[in-house]
Amino acid sequence: MKRISVIAPIYNEKENIQLLVEKIKTTLKDRFTSYEIILVDDGSTDGSSELIEKIASTDPHIKDYHFTKNNGQTAALSAGFKYCTGDIVVTMDSDLQTDPEDIYLMLPYLDKYDMVNGKRTTREDGFKRKISSLIGNGVRNFITKDNIKDTGCPLKLFKKEVVKSFYLYEGMHRFLPTLAKINGFSVVEVPVHHFDRMYGKSKYGVWNRLWKGLKDAFAVRWMSKRKINYVLKESR
Nearest-5° angle of CA 104, CA 196, CA 22?
50
Those residues whose C-beta lies under 8 Å from the C-beta of residue 99, and which sit 6 or more positions away, are 23, 192, 193, 195
Each residue's pLDDT expressed in tens, for the chain with a length of 236 residues: 699 999 999 999 999 999 999 999 999 988 998 999 999 999 999 999 999 999 999 999 999 999 999 999 999 999 999 999 999 999 999 999 999 999 999 999 999 999 999 998 875 454 445 544 554 555 555 465 566 778 889 999 999 999 999 999 888 898 899 999 999 999 999 999 988 777 656 655 555 555 566 677 767 777 777 777 777 888 76
- Cα dihedral 140, 145, 149, 154 in deg (nearest 10): -60
Look at residue 131 in the predicted model and tell me its pLDDT.
46
pTM: 0.84
Pairing type for strands 115-120 and 156-159 reads: antiparallel
User: What is the predicted pLDDT for the residue at 197?
Assistant: 72
pLDDT for 231: 78
Q: Which helix (DSSP H) or strand (DSSP E) does residue 116 occupy?
A: strand 115-120
Cross-strand partners of 65: 40
Secondary structure letter of residue 175 according to DSSP: G
- In this predicted structure, what is the pLDDT of residue 30? 86
Of the candidates 187, 19, 159, 176, the one whose C-alpha atom is nearest the C-alpha of residue 97 is 19
**Predicted pLDDT at 97:** 92
- Please name the amino acid found at residue 231: V
Q: What is the pLDDT of residue 127?
A: 46
Give the span between the Cα atoms of 66 and 90, in whole angstroms: 19
